[in-house]
C-alpha cells in the first residue's frame, strides 16, 4: 500500500529526507546567526570608532573588519544544531574511529609523506585551479550576478590585519571544519548508516553541499569538491583527510584574495579566466595529487561501510549508535563484503 511502512519508497524517502532536514536546519541556523553576526559587526565598528577617537589614533579601523571573525558564529551554530538532532541520534561523528583503524590499513611512513604533500600543496592548488575554471564558466552562462558581486564586495579585504586574521579563522579553519562535520560527518554518515548506496550517497550530499552555498556560481565548483571530499572520507576511513584538504584549499583562496600569491590577480574580473599557466599547471597538480593520495592511502572503503552500517544493530549493552571496529583475520569475507541497498 503506498505510504505504508511496507511501501519500499518509505525508507528511501526517510533516508534522503533526513539529509534534506540536515540541509534545512544548517541553512536556517546560518541565515539566523549570520544576520545577528552582521548586526554585531556594525556594533563593533561603531564601538571601535569611538575607542580609536578616545585613544587619539588618526587611522580608524575600516568598517567591516570584524565581520569575518563574527561570521564563524553561523558555522559553529549550524554544526551544533545538526549535532543535537539528528546528528547525535545517528551516532554522531565517525572521525574518532578513523584515528583507531588497525595497522593493516594504515599508510607506511613513505606513503604518509606523499599523502601530506597531496593534502597540503598539490590538491589545494589544483582544486583552486579547476574551481576557478568552473566558476568562470558559470559567470559566462549566467550573467545575472549583481547580488553575488555585492556579497563579495562586502566580504572583500578591508586592508586591516583584523580582517585578514578573521578570514584565516573563519574561511580557512572554522568554516571548513564545520562544513565537513555537517556534510561528511553527519549527513554522509547518516545516509550510509541507513543503507544508501555509497556512490548515490556521496553525490547526493555533494549536491546539497553545493546548494548551501546559496548561489549558482559557488555551486558550480562546490558540488564537485563535495564529491571528492566524500570519496576521500570513505576511502580513508574518516581519517580527517577531507577536513585537511577543505581547510588548505580555502586558505589558498584567502591568500590569493589578499594578494599573497605571486602572479595571481587578487581581484579577478568575473568571467575572465585566470592565467593559463595556473589553469594548466594547477590541473596537472590536481591529477598528481589525486594519484599520490589514492595510491598512498590504503583502501578502507569496505571497512568504513561495514563499521558504519554495523552501528544500526543493537549493541550487547543495549545501546544504539556506538561504533566499534576491528578486522577479523579469520574471516576475510566479513571484512570485504557488505550489502548495499539499491538507492
pLDDT band at 87 (very low <50, low <70, confident <90, very high): confident
Residue 199 belongs to some domain of the structure: yes
- Of 262 and 6, the structure prediction assigns the larger pLDDT to 262
Which H or E run contains 182? none
* In the block, residue with C-alpha cell 559557488: 218
| Share above pLDDT 70 across residues of the chain, in percent, rounded to a whole number | 84
Per DSSP, the three-state class of 12 is: helix
How far apart (Å, rounded) are the C-alpha atoms in residues 304 and 208? 22
Residues 248 and 231: their CA atoms lie apart, in Å, by: 18
Q: Is 237 part of a structural domain of the chain? A: yes
- Per mean pLDDT, which of 28-37, 49-58, 89-98, 312-321 is the most reliable? 28-37
Percent of the chain with pLDDT over 90: 59
pLDDT at residue 298 tops 60: yes
Whether this prediction's pTM lies above 0.75 is answered by yes
**For range 316-321, the mean pLDDT:** 41
Per-residue pLDDT band for 94 (boundaries 50, 70, 90) equals low
Mean pLDDT over residues 62-87, rounded?
93
H/E stretch holding 240: none
Sign of CA dihedral 253, 256, 257, 263: negative
Q: What is the 8-class DSSP label of residue 172? A: I
What is the phi-psi region of residue 59: left when phi exceeds 0, alpha when psi lies from -120 to 50, beta otherwise?
Answer: beta
- The answer to whether residue 184 is domain-embedded is yes
Confidence of residue 343 (pLDDT cuts 50, 70, 90): low
What does pLDDT average to over the chain?
A: 85
Q: What is the mean pLDDT of residues 261-288?
A: 90
* Section 138-156 average pLDDT: 89
For residue 188, what pLDDT is reported?
Answer: 94
pLDDT tens across 209-240, in order?
Answer: 999 999 999 999 999 999 999 999 999 988 89
Count of domains observed in the chain: 1
Higher pLDDT, 321 or 252: 252
Which residues constitute the domain of residue 236? 82-145+163-314+322-336
Tell whether 265 is covered by a domain: yes
For residue 14, CA distances in Å to 9, 28, 91, 194 come to 9, 20, 17, 9
Question: What confidence score (pLDDT) does residue 13 get?
Answer: 80
pLDDT for position 93? 67
What does the pLDDT read at residue 335? Answer: 45
Measure the CA–CA gap between 83 and 185, rounded to whole angstroms: 10
Nearest-angstrom CA–CA distance, 266 and 338:
48
- Give the range among 6-20, 75-89, 115-129, 163-177 with minimum mean pLDDT: 6-20
Residue 106 — very low, low, confident or very high, per pLDDT cuts 50/70/90?
Answer: confident
Residue 15 lies in a domain: no
| Separation between Cα atoms, residue 60 and residue 53, nearest integer Å | 8
Q: Measured between alpha carbons, how far is 180 from 244 in angstroms, rounded to an integer?
A: 10
C-alpha grid cell, residue 104: 593493516
Query: How many Å separate Cα 339 from the centre of its chain?
Result: 27
Residue found under cell 544504539: 320
Does residue 327 lie within any of the structural domains? yes
The stretches of 142-275 forming alpha helices (DSSP H) are: 146-154, 161-169, 175-180, 188-193, 198-211, 216-236, 241-257
pLDDT confidence of 330, banded at 50, 70, 90?
very low
- Give domain status of residue 91, yes or no: yes
pLDDT at 31 over 90: yes
For the segment 105-129, the average pLDDT, to the nearest whole number, is: 93
- Kindly state whether residue 24 falls inside one of the protein's structural domains: no
Amino acid at each position: 500500500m503506498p505510504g505504508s511502512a511496507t511501501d519500499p519508497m518509505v525508507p528511501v524517502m526517510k533516508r534522503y529526507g533526513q539529509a534534506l532536514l540536515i540541509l534545512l536546519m544548517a541553512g536556517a541556523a546560518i541565515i539566523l546567526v549570520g544576520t545577528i553576526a552582521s548586526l554585531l559587526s556594525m556594533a563593533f565598528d561603531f564601538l571601535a570608532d569611538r575607542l580609536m577617537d578616545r585613544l587619539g589614533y588618526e587611522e580608524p579601523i575600516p568598517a567591516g573588519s570584524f565581520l569575518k571573525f563574527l561570521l564563524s558564529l553561523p558555522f559553529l551554530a549550524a554544526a551544533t544544531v545538526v549535532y543535537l538532532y539528528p546528528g547525535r541520534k545517528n551516532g554522531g561523528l565517525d572521525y574518532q574511529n578513523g584515528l583507531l583503524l588497525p595497522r593493516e590499513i594504515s599508510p607506511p611512513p613513505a606513503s604518509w609523506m606523499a599523502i601530506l604533500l597531496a593534502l597540503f600543496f598539490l590538491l589545494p592548488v589544483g582544486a583552486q585551479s579547476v574551481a576557478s575554471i568552473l566558476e568562470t564558466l558559470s559567470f559566462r552562462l549566467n550573467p545575472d550576478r549583481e547580488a553575488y558581486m555585492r556579497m563579495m564586495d562586502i566580504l572583500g579585504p578591508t586592508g586591516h590585519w583584523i580582517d585578514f586574521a578573521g578570514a584565516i579563522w573563519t574561511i580557512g579553519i572554522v568554516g571548513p571544519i564545520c562544513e565537513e562535520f555537517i556534510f561528511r560527518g553527519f549527513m554522509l554518515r547518516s545516509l550510509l548508516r541507513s543503507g544508501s548506496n555509497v556512490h548515490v550517497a556521496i553525490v547526493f550530499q555533494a549536491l546539497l553541499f553545493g546548494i548551501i552555498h546559496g548561489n549558482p556560481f559557488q555551486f558550480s565548483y562546490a558540488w564537485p569538491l563535495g564529491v571528492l571530499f566524500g570519496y576521500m572520507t570513505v576511502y580513508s576511513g574518516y581519517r580527517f583527510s577531507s577536513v585537511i584538504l577543505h581547510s588548505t584549499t580555502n586558505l589558498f583562496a584567502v591568500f590569493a584574495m589578499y594578494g599573497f600569491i605571486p602572479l595571481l590577480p587578487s581581484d579577478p574580473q568575473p568571467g575572465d579566466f585566470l592565467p593559463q599557466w595556473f589553469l594548466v599547471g594547477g590541473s596537472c597538480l590536481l591529477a598528481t595529487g589525486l594519484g599520490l593520495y589514492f595510491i598512498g592511502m590504503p583502501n578502507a572503503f569496505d571497512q568504513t561501510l561495514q563499521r558504519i552500517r554495523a552501528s544500526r544493530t543493537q549493541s550487547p549493552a543495549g545501546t544504539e549508535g556506538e561504533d566499534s571496529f576491528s578486522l577479523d583475520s579469520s574471516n576475510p569475507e566479513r571484512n570485504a563484503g557488505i550489502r548495499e541497498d539499491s538507492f
